[in-house]
Amino acid sequence: MATLYHVPLSPFCRKVRLSLAEKKIECELIEERYWEQDPDFLRRNPAGKVPVLKIDGMTLSESAAICEYLEETRPDVPLLPKDPVGRFEVRRLVGWFDDKFHREVTSNLVYERVNKKVMKQGYPDSKNVKTGSQKIKYHLDYMTWLLDQRRWLAGDVMTLADFAAAAHLSALDYISDVDWNRSEAVKDWYAKIKSRPAFRGILADQVPGFPPPAHYADLDF
């Protein structure tokens, strides 16, 4: 059985958790307070961050590399299409969410509101929170534009791009930072992905001191 060292609201961990669950890879979850820099953990991953996945006798880090490894070794449930152009589009969007969206939105909201308190690093910086709340609008509009032309974000089948996006949005939804009224298309897309069995673990997450809003785990939000 695999073991994943993670923190509940990390979008990078959530993307890996969704991939594992969709591919039906059994995995034990261990919460890792990586900011405490436990020497045992640093030995497992010198980068000192989560996710870290123990699988096939190895210890893997870097969420993008982990997802590609799972795709190559467990291709039965594919999360990337077969053609290079389709694969490019999935990877482009994974990069979009894990780099641009993360920098502009997730780090300004989830990190300011939750991580700082959990890591005892002070109070949220209201300037950053305001920036994140502004920037998410543009990203929701970009997703709407994509979903006007496609059933899923990268094309007509669900892929890792949808999991990357849902990983960020679900972490933001846990702290009520997504305005689902802004876009019918994004809301419908999230309802579809949220109702997948792979999403159940994510919806059951609880961060001490931060109870999720009632709509968080509700499939008819």
> Which residues, numbered 148-167, are part of the site for a copy of itself (CB under 8 A)?
none
> CB 62 → a copy of itself: shortest distance, Å?
4
Exactly one of 24, 33, 92, 130 binds a copy of itself (CB under 8 A); that residue is 92
Q: Which stretch binds a copy of itself (CB under 8 A): 58-66, 162-170, 183-191, 194-202?
A: 58-66
Residue 62 interacting with a copy of itself (CB under 8 A): yes
What DSSP string runs through the chain? -EEEEE-TT-HHHHHHHHHHHHTT--EEEEE--GGG--HHHHHH-TT--S-EEEETTEEEE-HHHHHHHHHHH-TTS-SS-SSHHHHHHHHHHHHIIIIIIIIIIIIIIIIIIIIHHHTT-----HHHHHHHHHHHHHHHHHHHHHHHH-SBTTBSS--HHHHHHHHHHHHHHHTT---GGG-HHHHHHHHHHHTSGGGHHHHT--BTTBPPPGGGG-TT-
Exactly one of 39, 40, 58, 197 binds a copy of itself (CB under 8 A); that residue is 58
Exactly one of 87, 117, 150, 182 binds a copy of itself (CB under 8 A); that residue is 87
Exactly one of 9, 60, 110, 158 binds a copy of itself (CB under 8 A); that residue is 60
Q: Which stretch binds a copy of itself (CB under 8 A): 57-65, 105-113, 121-129, 181-189?
A: 57-65
